[in-house]
Chain A
């Protein structure tokens, strides 16, 4: 408790609470309003300090949010040229207080995933700049930059034999030689990654989102920009996280997603929502694709759905009993998953929807 009885002008001036009140920020409005009733002999010092603070007001500079954003982007552009020298054995983004972030999967299969940036921001900032000289400043990690100015996909092979198919108007920055305990690349635009299984995690930095494969984690960071980013998984397992808001108890369901093949994550920057969905064109998981011909003669719908579920690795939810009597005769080998579902649903007066990375089938009018 402060001793206001001894307060002088300079004490009021130094009192942050008082200053906040005068400047219209504090939350002790009623206290300071009634202050003089409680301490009537402080009137002069109180008023002088208040006048002083009001007189000392300074107008802000003319500076728009857009200017600030632009400057921040310039910084990110320039800073991306320097990959920090990481000590072996020091975990990247090790967050001691949230062990929930640490996921360890032993993946037998190399994870293959696609990172698609939301259109817009990254393309607009994708200007040519003199990075070559800056890059050479850093003796630790020689960064190589590949920009795809062509109309077709560009294949980039990294030093660990991982491959990246770089889409047009996209850029990849990567070290000529991976070192340290993480393989880090910076992507602007779109890239399809086939990551070679190795002990060090492979991380793709895309704005405020970090995609991580191979047995650890995948971080999505919320940053004040309003485009969306997506991650689509073709095979293997990837985890996507957005930054944990302060004061929210550890809860991985809220903050992160685990994606399997054919599933995708969308990070909506405007509201910070990270949602799970399916990729635009689910493809059969390679090994199983040849085994299933998708030719059916009077086959019950549930059997077909289970086969689809297996071959695409996507969970399909439906009521077994409801559809047990629906018999299908069809050849579905050339159709895409969604076309197959359309046909199957039509034949059995059902409809499907995609919820939380799963397919939910229900009979029309029964929901």
Chain B
């Protein structure tokens, strides 16, 4: 993946945009377009639709620059706004079965393990197995993994994007890890894997 615009630079551009500089906003758009597009395509695999949504998003930001607040992380904020715009557009399209719950949206991602640098055949096999496991996780868990490893968001930012509390994000990750355990080579001696989440401890027995 190519280098992203550093968040401090984006922050600076955001200030300039809020001070009335249209080209600062255009620069933000250009810099983060690939990320936003990729994200949009996960929510609705329709290139033109996603492009339109991104256009409207930025035009809206420009029109409402007076009321737009400063943000902690520009890219994470844009991902949040794009998601709600896309979901809103989609629910408008399908008014028949209007889903009031925002967590019922579709999310499609294809994981393609990066095994280029792995020489050991056994490890490639392990990674492929994991890839298969991740691909069969529930959508919300895949979304979390995608946001973490493709969009490189922090857990706090993921919580914002997914409209979840921080704790829920952790729990969701734990769920994923538990269901993936069977894909990891567990040595027969280490049957017990413990992990702690905020002092809340639970134990899983690994099956050899």
Contacts and interface: CB of A to CB of B under 8 A. Distances in A.
A20 B155 CA distance: 15
9 contacts: A10-B197, A48-B184, A51-B127, A54-B114, A56-B150, A74-B55, A84-B62, A85-B66, A138-B63
Given A51-B123, A93-B19, A82 B62 contact: yes
Contacts of B26: 72, 75-76, 79, 223
B146 A58 contact: yes
B22 interface: yes
A1 interface: no
CB-CB nearest 10 A-B residue pairs: A55-B130, A57-B114, A55-B131, A56-B149, A72-B30, A68-B33, A79-B62, A58-B150, A55-B113, A59-B112
A51 B126 contact: yes
Nearest to B117: A24
B77 interface: no
Contacts of A223: 23, 26-27
B34 interface: yes
A79 B25 CA distance: 10
Contact of A75 (B55, B123, B170): B55
Interface string A226-247: 0000000000000000000010
A246 B112 CA distance: 37
Contacts of A93: 16, 19-21
Contacts of B187: 44
Interface in B121-177: 123, 126-128, 130-131, 133-134, 145-146, 148-150, 152, 154-155, 170, 173-174, 177
B111 A58 contact: yes
Contacts of B16: 93
B41 A61 contact: yes
A60 B1 CA distance: 8
Contacts of B9: 246
Given A75-B29, A84-B20, A54 B113 contact: yes
Given A51-B130, A55-B113, 11 more contacts: A19-B148, A24-B117, A25-B1, A44-B190, A53-B149, A56-B134, A56-B149, A75-B59, A82-B62, A93-B21, A138-B63
Nearest to A184: B20
Contacts, number: 145
Contacts of A9: 177, 195
Contacts of B37: 61, 63
Nearest to A78: B59
A80 interface: yes
Contacts of A10: 170, 173-174, 177, 195, 197
Contact of B19 (A14, A23, A94): A94
A59 B19 contact: no
A92 interface: yes
